[in-house]
Amino acid sequence: MKPVPRSRRRPFLVEGLTALGLIVAPYVLPHLGFAPNTVNQILVWGLFGLGFDILFGFTGLLSFGQSAFFGSGGFIAAYLLTQDMIASVPLALLIGTLGAMAIGVLVGLIALRRTGIYFAMITVAIAEMFYFLENSPLSAWTGGENGIPGVPTPKIDFLVSWHVGTGWSMYWFLALCYFAGIVIALRIVRSPVGAILSAIRDNPLRVAALGHSVGAYKLTAFVVAAGYAGFAGGLLGVLQGFMPPDAFSFDTSGQLVMQTAIGGVGTLFGPLLGATVWLFLSEFLQTALHLGSAWKLVLGIVFVLLVCFLRHGLIGGFKDLHRLIFRRAEIDVEAPEEAPVPVVAKAVALPARHREGDLDSGPILTATGLSKRYGGLLANADIDFTVKVGELRGIIGPNGAGKSTFFKMLTCEVPPTSGKIVFEGRDITGRSVTEVCQLGLTKSYQVNQLFSRLTVRENLTIAALADLRGKFRLDLFSNLRKVAGLEERVEQALELVGLAARAGTMVSALAYGEKRRLEIGLALATSPSLLLLDEPLAGMSPRERVETVQLLKSIAKGRTMIVIDHDMDSLFELVEWITVLQEGRVLTEGTPDQIKTDPVVREAYLGGVHEP
Amino acid sequence: MFNGLVLGALLALISSGLTIIYGTLGVLNLAHGAMFMIGGYAGYLTFTATGSFPLAILGGALFVMVLGVVMERVIIRHFYGRPHEDQILVTFGLSIVFVEAIRFSFGSLSYSVPPPPWATGVTSLGFMLYPTYRLVVVGIVAVALLALYLVLYRTRLGMIVRAGIEDSVMVDSLGINVFRVFMVVFGIGAMAAGFAGIVNAPVVSLTPDMGEMILVQTFVVVVIGGVGSFPGAILGGLIAGQILSITSMINPGYAYVMLFAAMTLVLLIRPRGLMGLRSRD
Amino acid sequence: MVANRRTFLGQSLAMGAGIGGISAGGWGALGLLSPAWAKDEPPLGTWPAGSQGSSVFIGITVPRTGTYAVQGEDELKGYQLAVEHINAGHPLIKAISPKTTKGVLGKEVKVGVADDGAKPNQAVQNISRFISENKAVLMTGGTSSAVAVALNKLAQREKVLCVVGISGSNDTTGKDCVRYSVRECFYGQTAAAGIGPVLLKAFGKGKKAAYLTPDYTYGHTVQKSMSDFLNKEGGWTTVTNQVSPLGAPDYSSFLLNIANSGAEIFLNINWGHDAVLSIQQAKQFGVLDKQKLVVPYQVPFLAREVGGNLLEGVYAATDFWWTLEDKYPLAKQFVAEFEKKYGYKPEWGANACYMQFAMWANAVETAGTFYPPAVIKVYESGAKIQSTVGEVHFRPEDHQLVRPVVIVRGKKASEMKGKEDYWEVLEVLPGEPLMQKPDAFGCKLGDYS
């Protein structure tokens, strides 16, 4: 799902509508058969789900272990309140939230070392361990399977005197909490951090390659989710006057996941809607339809049907319906005619940023004795390679020569088996691809590594953010639009690769050539001092090639570039010096003219691939 | 220690089913525990109808195999192109549906399946008395695992399946009907769970919820052994069984927690598992 | 007392002027004519809102799924039978609650049932809904003591009376007792004190005991009560106490430890399906052949589910068994009515729940109002009530019903006179001597309002 957009004309629309909804609800919902306690529970689940949606919907990390933080926050708050250590309920809730977040940091450091299914499984294991801890060893503090009874309701005597009771009185307190939660969540999602999280969901490897510390951002999302969970847990205790042990149970995590899926993942309001549907149906099925113990069966079937047919939950379904009815083409879905590449006169834009340590002359990159072995295969053997500042270098070689592997080592995507790489006087051997990108060395990929669920502009934004903000910044509450220099940088990149007219288009709707240009644009937007291009012309039609070569020439100004490609004609036109690789070694080097006529090179290519 | 062998054997069988499904299809079948449970009930029905224990085993295993095939064709198939999370969600939902459907049909009262007459009673092992039937279970499971091994490693179908575990895209490009392979794999994996369910029935009494705990343990085994690895599932099962029984000797309450701790440890240190192939992520 | 006279006056008025009302379909008429001497009190909980109409609402939460589902359904049947009888003014109800005519104070009783899966959180949510939506005047639930304790706290907070269903933990009328809750059934302390002497007589002194205890409050308190009594009074020793998690799928580790412990007596405190499974597996491991099984806190349907005559000669303490119909006329009526409606003989859960509703009807009728403190005071008055196990009364200090504990022993298959004749009643022990001193478990009842 795309990040929640913020219209320029109506900046606080979502917040306003939420407030309106919360104010109106107590007058409308009872007529639909909702008890105040049910509505209160929905709010708590909705709040619990806000954090989870940020973690799962936006960052793509499916955790089945949120109950660990829900319970932790809840029990910390309940314990403080019932042991008379803290009198103020809001303060206890805050401490509970912070406690849950601290635990989230510890758990996240362990769990986030793996991704996907493994991550999910670790979260299940951790949740079960917490449940066990609560039940047995720590039962003196947690009350074991009885939980902690006697949690008081909030009494606020600050600025205004407000003693919260139960029922609808509690509703206003919870609604206030939920509103605060939504406001914060919206800010997070609209911040640079939020944008990066969405990109991580899409293509985490590229995010790292663009210079963001993916691990740190994931941990941020994890801790945010833990915080929301802890806050919601504390509210549950206050709502019921009792902190139940099943807050820690796996069922709780499972219910959260299901509710979010039902409502719509990645929408922030999905969990709230999902909780509404779930709780309403459980009551309805039991009381109105007198299904007895079969209510869960019906609910399960409903859930499976929803997952099968509504891929983006109910909210997604509504959006589709809305689109169907109003036929508003928000996205260009048909493959368009290729927009003509504008005159590449804007070539001056986007100079390589001057970083500390940027060299003006001399070798910018030196690789010595670089080798890479994969088991029995020696992909690269003992390569010595130097590029000078401002050079335009080409690398060619038959298939299997090890060109891509070589690039991967240079950008530190893959560690060399032996050898050394020095970039701008710094030894970068064995560093991470993120660090290296931040230092000014980056690559555009042979197979497009784009963020297909984002628009062109959003793609470039991610790249630019890394350059402007460093590899990690915890600016959760900043406005994305207000990042200094961001818009300018993105506009420049758009102009440079000729995609300004398509800035608002989703990547999945672009033509292939446009995607390739965006691929280059991404690398460019990080302001590299040394730009590697891995087969930029791959898969292009002749006309596209001509245009792209022009593009590459224009962006080469003031920048050092190394280009791998099979299209020798185009390459010879573009670069000044060529290195030829064969079977993992450097075969020879020379100017395009020399290489063209070199018999050794021709022999290496005999029987090789012919250009399409 | 010995008890661990028995515990582990069953887990090994169930887990091998889960691991080949995940290895080949990339789908984490959260309904696997429910299938184990359904195998027990189907076997129970067969037993009450025929009075024969071997037929009950057959009935249980076959029913769940068919269920697995139907599930794959009707539902899972549409999820191959969808993100992993959606697959997890749908199998999760199906597991609830299965459990509740059984509860609805059979009620919550537990059912017993008696072991075959020649396997009742207690055997003296010298150092302890042990239920005879549990020993028999080890034997039955060993035979089943052997059969599974033969299918996977000695038949053409098995070869395709193993290739599919390594690289299903490649198998597809080789012109083999991947979907049919997937269906067969799902059926075999489900059958393993169902078979285990009915074989285990004389040991426990059948309730609708009995699959839930088994599922989590199965995860642990699959992770420890290595996802997609059949020998890994066996090894993982045996290890898990030992962890459970050894911890139980000291403090039984901590047994399951130790299992989870072991799984987390493996995931951190050697995420491929002990015998796993390269990670799917 | 003022209340009695007024109630009497009110009732005569009702009878005199209301006969016509009744024949005119008179729930409403009867309701309007019930006295409201507590009218001048401020509203409390769901009073008076919940009892102003022609009906009153009871919120029931039972496990219908999960480990205790079987027992939960049985409890529910007891509740439903009681409601049916109360509304109809059935003679059995009138025997327990003499002032009942039809309904409670002339109002029809309606119920709402929700499934809590033995989860305290779910139970609290279910009842909270019943309170806010239906203005429930009474709540009930239990089976799991954790649920009972949670409902206790809820009752005290919401000022709505709670009658506990099944709850075996000492804490329910011990450290977790509340003013707004009463318990009918027996519990760890009384079970231990009841069955202890029987065991000592049957097995002798100085025996070695192994315990299998479920890891939660009910399990721990019952185990402690049992071992305290047996070890102190009979010089028994506890050679091992195996603590198993709730819902454990396999007891092999625990049973092996028990088998190797050298124990002579095996006390299984597990409940619900856990009891069934652990006993079946104990048989498989040969434990039952070497050690004598004792079930200190009996489980409804245990005999039926366990099967295979595993409970032959097994001693258990229970709340009620249907063969008590030979001893108590009300039990005979109850068993007959239950069997007529449901086709099987009631277990003790059904009986406990039936009695709770009947005694509540009695308390309300005696108080003449639904005003909670007044009803509570009737409970606390210690007035004698006729029940399916003879004459009982509530102890005001902790709201525990003083009632007998029934010691049973499993019958041999050959001795069973019918399909459900599983247990032989050995003794019916008076409850008072078995109970602890009222403040021994730290009970501090809360406020009335």
User: Which of A391, A393, A424, A425 has the alpha carbon at shortest distance from A406?
Assistant: A393
What CA–CA distance (Å, rounded) separates A460 from A217? Answer: 18
Q: What is the mean pLDDT of chain C?
A: 85
pLDDT of B46 reads 92
What CA–CA distance (Å, rounded) separates A447 from C411? Answer: 78
Could you give the number of structural domains in chain B? 1
Q: Where are the domains of chain A?
A: 13-249, 362-605
pLDDT of A353 reads 55
Residue B26 in any domain: the answer is yes
Position B277 confidence tier, pLDDT thresholds 50, 70, 90: low
> What mean pLDDT is predicted for residues C42-65?
89
Contact C250 B255 (CB under 8 A): no
Element (H, E) at A395: strand A392-396
pLDDT of A351 reads 53
Tell me the pLDDT tens digit for each residue of C219-230: 888 999 899 999
Size of interface A-C (CB pairs under 8 A): 91
Most confident stretch, B52-56, B106-110, B226-230:
B52-56
Position B222 confidence tier, pLDDT thresholds 50, 70, 90: confident
Q: Is C447 in CB contact (< 8 Å) with chain A? A: no
Chains with 3 or more CB pairs closer than 8 angstroms to B? Answer: A, C
What CA–CA distance (Å, rounded) separates C65 from C306? Answer: 19
User: Which of B124, B244, B200 has the alpha carbon at shortest distance from C254?
Assistant: B244
> Nearest-CA distance from B88 to chain A in Å?
9
| Residue C26 vs residue A552, higher pLDDT | A552
> Nearest-CA distance from B55 to chain A in Å?
30
Position A58 confidence tier, pLDDT thresholds 50, 70, 90: very high
- If you measure CA to CA, which chain B residue comes closest to C72? B108
pLDDT of C13 reads 43
User: Which of A211, A214, A305, A307 has the alpha carbon at shortest distance from A257?
Assistant: A307
> What mean pLDDT is predicted for residues C420-449?
87
Contact B78 A56 (CB under 8 A): no
pLDDT of C351 reads 94
pLDDT of C38 reads 54
- Whether the per-residue pLDDT at C172 is higher than 80: the answer is yes
> What mean pLDDT is predicted for residues C160-189?
91
Which residue of A81, A242, A298 is the best one to mutate when testing the C interface, meaning the one whose CB has the most C CBs within 10 A?
A242
Percent of chain A with pLDDT over 90: 29
- If you measure CA to CA, which chain B residue comes closest to A256? B89
| Residue C93 vs residue A336, higher pLDDT | C93
> What mean pLDDT is predicted for residues C297-319?
87
C148-to-A259, A292, C166 alpha-carbon distances in Å: 28, 21, 8
| Residue C157 vs residue A334, higher pLDDT | C157
DSSP string of C78-147? Answer: HHHHHHHHHHHT-HHHHHHSTT-SSTBTTBEEEEEEEE-TT-HHHHHHHHHHHHHHH--SEEEE-SSHHH
Contact B63, B229 (CB under 8 A): no
What CA–CA distance (Å, rounded) separates C119 from C139? Answer: 16
Q: What is the mean pLDDT of chain A?
A: 85
Alpha-helical regions (H) of A292-363 = 295-309, 313-326
What CA–CA distance (Å, rounded) separates B17 from C389? Answer: 55
Element (H, E) at A259: helix A250-263
Contact A300 B220 (CB under 8 A): no
Tell me the pLDDT tens digit for each residue of A84-103: 888 888 999 999 999 999 99
- Whether the per-residue pLDDT at C245 is higher than 90: the answer is no
Contact B205 C70 (CB under 8 A): no
Report the side by side order of strands in the sheet with A530-534.
A441-444, A530-534, A560-564, A392-396, A577-582, A585-590
Check whether domain A362-605 has CATH 3.30.1330.40, yes or no:
no
Position A540 confidence tier, pLDDT thresholds 50, 70, 90: confident
B-chain residues near A114 (CB < 8 A): 267-268, 271, 281
C-chain residues near B122 (CB < 8 A): 284-286, 289
Of B103, B122, B256, the CB nearest to C65: B103
Structure letter (DSSP) for residue C250? -
Position C310 confidence tier, pLDDT thresholds 50, 70, 90: confident
In chain C, residues 113-142 whose CB comes closer than 8 Å to chain A: 113-115, 119-122, 124-125, 128-129, 131-133
SS3 A528: coil
CA angle at A28 for the pair A27 and A32, rounded to the nearest 5°: 130
Position A226 confidence tier, pLDDT thresholds 50, 70, 90: very high
What CA–CA distance (Å, rounded) separates C333 from C351? Answer: 12
> What is the residue range of B182's domain?
2-209
> Nearest-CA distance from A129 to chain C in Å?
13
Contact C129 A286 (CB under 8 A): no
A14 phi and psi angles, rounded to 5 deg: -65, -45
**Residue B109: count of CB within 10 angstroms of its CB:** 16
Chains with 3 or more CB pairs closer than 8 angstroms to C? Answer: A, B
What CA–CA distance (Å, rounded) separates A66 from A232? Answer: 11
User: Which of B134, B152, B135 has the alpha carbon at shortest distance from B231?
Assistant: B152
Position A346 confidence tier, pLDDT thresholds 50, 70, 90: very low
pLDDT of C39 reads 61
SS3 A492: helix
Contact C108, C374 (CB under 8 A): no
- If you measure CA to CA, which chain B residue comes closest to C300? B109
> What mean pLDDT is predicted for residues A107-132?
85
pLDDT of A2 reads 46
Alpha-helical regions (H) of B155-253 = 156-166, 168-173, 178-200, 210-225, 230-250
Element (H, E) at C408: strand C405-410
SS3 A560: strand
DSSP string of C151-180? Answer: HHHHHHHHT-EEEE-S---GGGGTTT--TT
> Nearest-CA distance from C285 to chain B in Å?
5
What CA–CA distance (Å, rounded) separates A344 from C6? Answer: 101
- Whether the per-residue pLDDT at B121 is higher than 80: the answer is no
| Residue C4 vs residue A520, higher pLDDT | A520
Query: Which residues are paired to C267 by β-bridges?
Result: C211, C294
pLDDT of A612 reads 57
Residue B246 in any domain: the answer is no
pLDDT of C257 reads 86
Tell me the pLDDT tens digit for each residue of A281-302: 887 887 766 666 678 888 889 8
Query: Which residues are paired to C183 by β-bridges?
Result: C164, C400
Of C119, C129, C153, the CB nearest to A37: C129
pLDDT of A456 reads 93
Contact B252 C254 (CB under 8 A): yes
User: Which of C207, C212, C268 has the alpha carbon at shortest distance from C240?
Assistant: C212
What's the length of chain C?
Answer: 449
Query: What single letter denotes the amino acid at residue C45?
Result: G
Hey, what's the torsion of the CAs at A462, A464, A467, A472, to 10 degrees?
-30
Contact A301 B223 (CB under 8 A): no
Hey, what's the torsion of the CAs at A462, A466, A472, A478, to 10 degrees?
-60
pTM of the model: 0.84
Q: Which residues of B touch C (CB under 8 A)?
A: 3, 6-7, 100, 103, 107-110, 112, 114, 122, 128-131, 133-134, 203-205, 207, 209-210, 213-214, 244-245, 248-249, 252-253, 255-256
pLDDT of A329 reads 54
Tell me the pLDDT tens digit for each residue of A160-183: 777 787 778 889 999 999 999 999
Tell me the pLDDT tens digit for each residue of A424-481: 888 988 899 999 999 989 999 989 999 988 999 999 999 999 888 888 888 888 888 8
pLDDT of B134 reads 85
Position A611 confidence tier, pLDDT thresholds 50, 70, 90: low
Element (H, E) at C232: helix C217-234
- Whether the per-residue pLDDT at A148 is higher than 80: the answer is yes
Of A245-259, B159-173, C111-125, minimum mean pLDDT range: B159-173
Residue B136 in any domain: the answer is yes
> Nearest-CA distance from A249 to chain C in Å?
10
Contact C284 B3 (CB under 8 A): no
Structure letter (DSSP) for residue C42? P
- Whether the per-residue pLDDT at B224 is higher than 50: the answer is yes
Q: CB neighbours of A355 closer than 8 A, spacing ≥ 6?
A: A439, A440, A529
Tell me the pLDDT tens digit for each residue of B64-103: 999 999 999 999 888 887 877 788 889 989 999 999 899 8
What CA–CA distance (Å, rounded) separates B233 from A418? Answer: 37
Contact C281 B204 (CB under 8 A): yes
pLDDT of B256 reads 78
Which residue of C215, C284, C291 is the best one to mutate when testing the B interface, meaning the one whose CB has the most B CBs within 10 A?
C284
- In order of their start, the domains of chain C are 36-186+326-402 (3.40.50.2300), 189-318+405-434 (3.40.50.2300)
> What mean pLDDT is predicted for residues C59-85?
90
Which residue of B48, B135, B205, B258 is the best one to mutate when testing the C interface, meaning the one whose CB has the most C CBs within 10 A?
B205
> What mean pLDDT is predicted for residues C204-226?
89
What CA–CA distance (Å, rounded) separates C371 from A104? Answer: 48
Residue B107 in any domain: the answer is yes
Contact A126 B264 (CB under 8 A): yes
Element (H, E) at B124: strand B122-124
A85-to-A77, A80, A101, A240 alpha-carbon distances in Å: 10, 5, 20, 20
Strand pairing class (C161-164; C138-141): parallel
Contact B205 C280 (CB under 8 A): yes
